[in-house]
Amino acid sequence: MVLYCYNNLEVIIIISQNRLPLVEAMINYHNSDITPFDVPGHKHGKGNQELDEFLKKYGAYLDVNSMKELDILSDPIGVIKEAEELMAQAYGSDHAFFMVNGTTSSVQAMILAVAKPGDKIILPRNAHKSAINGLILSGAIPVFIQPEIDEKIGIANGVTIESVEIALAQNPDAKAIFLINPTYYGVTSPLKEIIKLAHKHGVAVLADEAHGAHFAFSDILPDSAIKLGADMSSVSMHKTGGSLTQSSVLLLNEGLIEKNKVRSVINLTTSTSASYLLMASLDFARKQLALNGEEMLLRICNLCDKYREKFNTLPGIYSFGKEMIGLKGVNNFDTTKLSVNTNGLKINGYELYDILREKYKIQAELADLNNVLFIISLGDDEESLSILYDALVEISRMYVGTKEVMFKNALLNPQVIVSPRDAYYAHKKRIKLKESINQISGESVMVYPPGIPIITPGEKISEDVINYIEFLKTQHTVITGPEDINLEYIRVLGL
Ligand SMILES: Cc1ncc(COP(=O)(O)O)c(C=O)c1O
């Protein structure tokens, strides 16, 4: 429809309404021959061919809505129920719930299922923003435990049993312990011991397995949280399980948490028009993992071990792996997380990430100051990994060396002053970031991915936090969270 007709305006409106900016960008991406080492784990369909063929054949024809024979996600009694039961069986849990708004909604449902306003949840400070936002939604109070920091590599690892013991002793009224299994970089905490300890105190264990959807299907990978007896787990099927982006699963071992409670919190925020294409992709991913997962994952793990060894022959390149097991906060390691640490190079992680994409058409999952992470999953093979290896051979030759270390440890530990929810709803004022020292933050600031907040609502802003954010602004990273996307200003509590 033409709204105005004045000089050339009519023509401009018609031309611009003819465009499909998003679609055009997606098609350009498709045509640019990128090698993907990011999610989704089906890697352009290669890792789940049955799903790919289904989508090519039926496409929008099977983008349908609930009806008698197709069941309804909010209260399944038919085919969705059956598909969820098969999912639960495949993971060894009592129940499984299909999720169509990512693991974000799954993580938030776990928190809402155990906590009401004022209840305490013990969680590591490197939890994903979905968990922090879950605290805002539920009104739960965080009891943060610090993950163990690997100063050499510059990453946050898991938590120790001792730090959980202390948190539990100081907060015997905590309703749950929330854990990450594994971290983005593949490290797991001593989950078995933590679950045993928590259950001794009648405290539920919630696992964020956004990066561990494949664990349940191979004995050579770390154990899945559900197998170890966790009460709930959120698994990102779309990340490493081979389903479509945004499809996820919430698993439940009944006992401390009831099935009906979980269903009711899921239904608080889930669309009443759940996508059947997303749900169908969960069906395909489950079938493939249950029938062929073990064999496929053995091939992938061997491939990762082989290429990690090759990477480690290159001067300046360090790809960490199972040698980390036994360090504080490292109980086990997911070998399918292949990283490059840049300490031996003249460039930092962000620069390496950009060079790989711009010069070598390689899309990594994420970068931080010291590392770049590549997610290897069901759709990877010798071909994709040799493209990465060849690029690293050249990069090693060009950039081996040292650089000035600007931040020894970018993983900060701000003090919680008020709960995330109280901070979220409190009066706020906008002040210059540079002048915000000792103020209480009214918003989150994070690099995405990984989406782990540098500061969350309710935490005190320190000089280190300001310096780190100022540094990140110079680094071609995507900083999200604050209202002022340029981060000249930040909203803090106060009138
Ligand atoms: C540890 C962790 N938890 C939860 C999520 C949220 O998952 P989703 O993007 O499926 O909503 C992510 C996403 O990257 C994550 O890394």
The ligand 1 atom at the shortest distance from the C-alpha of residue 183 is 1
Residue of 103, 111, 246 to mutate, ligand 1, most atoms within 8 A of C-beta: 103
Residue of 236, 334, 365, 452 to mutate, ligand 1, most atoms within 8 A of C-beta: 236
Q: What confidence score (pLDDT) does residue 406 get?
A: 64
> What are the C-alpha distances in Å from 211 to residues 84, 324, 429?
20, 18, 37
Q: What confidence score (pLDDT) does residue 1 get?
A: 45
Amino acid identity at 70: L
Strands 155-156, 149-150: pairing kind: antiparallel
Residue of 104, 110, 245, 375 to mutate, ligand 1, most atoms within 8 A of C-beta: 104
Cα(104) to centroid(ligand 1), Å: 6
Mind spelling out the 3-state secondary structure of the chain?
CCCCCCCCHHHHHHHHHCCCHHHHHHHHHHHCCCEEECCCCCCCCCCCHHHHHHHHHHHHHHCCCCEHHHECCCCCCCHHHHHHHHHHHHHCCCEEEEECCHHHHHHHHHHHHHCCCCCEEEEECCCCHHHHHHHHHHCCEEEEECCCEECCCCEECCCCHHHHHHHHHHCCCCCEEEEECCCCCCEECCHHHHHHHHHHCCCEEEEEECCCCCHHHCCCCCCCCCCCCCCEEEECHHHHHCCCCCCEEEEECCCCCCHHHHHHHHHHHCCCCCCHHHHHHHHHHHHHHHHHHHHHHHHHHHHHHHHHHHHCCCCCCECCCHHHECECCCCEECCCEEEEECCCECCCHHHHHHHHHHHHCEEECEECCCEEEEECCCCCCHHHHHHHHHHHHHHHHHHECCCCCCCCCCCCCCCECCCHHHHHHCCEEEEEHHHCCCCEECCCEEECCCCCEEECCCEECCHHHHHHHHHHHCCCCCEECCCCCCCCEEEEECC
Cα(120) to centroid(ligand 1), Å: 22
1 Cβ partners below 8 Å, 6+ apart? none
> Residue with the nearest Cα to atom 13 of ligand 1?
210
- As to burial, measured by CB atoms within 10 angstroms (0-12 exposed, 13-18 middle, 19+ buried), residue 397 is exposed
Nearest Cα to Cα of residue 113 among 39, 176, 54, 169? 176
Q: CA–CA separation, 188 vs 223, rounded Å? A: 9
Contact 252, 232 (CB under 8 A): yes
> Residue with the nearest Cα to atom 7 of ligand 1?
103
Phi, psi (deg, nearest 5) at residue 480: -125, 170
Residue of 105, 123, 130 to mutate, ligand 1, most atoms within 8 A of C-beta: 130
Angle between helix 161-170 and 191-200 (nearest 10): 20
Per-residue pLDDT of the chain (495 residues; tens, 9 = 90+): 445 555 666 666 777 899 999 999 999 999 999 999 999 999 999 999 999 999 999 999 999 999 999 999 999 999 999 999 999 999 999 999 999 999 999 999 999 999 999 999 999 999 999 999 999 999 999 999 999 989 899 899 999 999 999 999 999 999 999 999 999 999 999 999 999 999 999 999 999 999 999 999 999 999 999 999 999 999 999 999 999 999 999 999 999 999 999 999 999 999 999 999 999 999 999 999 999 999 999 999 999 999 999 999 999 999 999 999 999 999 999 999 999 999 999 999 999 999 999 999 999 999 998 999 999 999 999 999 999 999 999 999 999 999 877 665 556 789 999 999 999 999 999 999 999 999 999 999 998 878 888 999 999 999 999 999 998 888 878 898 999 989 999 999 998
Cα(477) to centroid(ligand 1), Å: 18
Cα(454) to centroid(ligand 1), Å: 16
Q: What is the largest CA-CA distance in the chain?
A: 76
Q: What confidence score (pLDDT) does residue 260 get?
A: 97
9 Cβ partners below 8 Å, 6+ apart? none
Q: CA–CA separation, 324 vs 328, rounded Å? A: 9
Amino acid identity at 198: A
Cα(279) to centroid(ligand 1), Å: 18
Cα(2) to centroid(ligand 1), Å: 42
Cα(156) to centroid(ligand 1), Å: 16
> Residue with the nearest Cα to atom 14 of ligand 1?
450
Nearest Cα to Cα of residue 83 among 247, 194, 195, 193? 247
Q: What confidence score (pLDDT) does residue 450 get?
A: 85
Whole-structure pTM value: 0.94
Q: CA–CA separation, 94 vs 38, rounded Å? A: 31
Cα(476) to centroid(ligand 1), Å: 22
The ligand 1 atom at the shortest distance from the C-alpha of residue 236 is 10
Report the chain's C-alpha Rg in angstroms: 23
| Residues with a CB atom less than 6 Å from ligand 1 | 102-104, 107, 128, 130, 180, 184, 208, 210, 236, 248, 449-451
The ligand 1 atom at the shortest distance from the C-alpha of residue 245 is 10
Cα(235) to centroid(ligand 1), Å: 9
β-sheet bridge partners, residue 333 = 187
Phi, psi (deg, nearest 5) at residue 126: -90, 25
Cα(366) to centroid(ligand 1), Å: 13
422 Cβ partners below 8 Å, 6+ apart? 458
The ligand 1 atom at the shortest distance from the C-alpha of residue 208 is 3
Cα(345) to centroid(ligand 1), Å: 30
Residue 263 structure tokens: 């269903």
The ligand 1 atom at the shortest distance from the C-alpha of residue 239 is 10
Contact 148, 326 (CB under 8 A): no
The ligand 1 atom at the shortest distance from the C-alpha of residue 107 is 4
Cα(3) to centroid(ligand 1), Å: 42
Contact 252, 93 (CB under 8 A): yes
Nearest Cα to Cα of residue 80 among 291, 280, 323? 280
Q: What confidence score (pLDDT) does residue 24 get?
A: 97
Which contacts (CB < 8 Å, 24+ apart) does range 462-469 have? Answer: 462/412, 462/414, 462/437, 462/438, 463/437, 464/412, 465/412, 465/414, 466/433, 466/434, 466/436, 466/437, 468/407, 468/410, 468/412, 469/433, 469/445
Contact 359, 219 (CB under 8 A): no
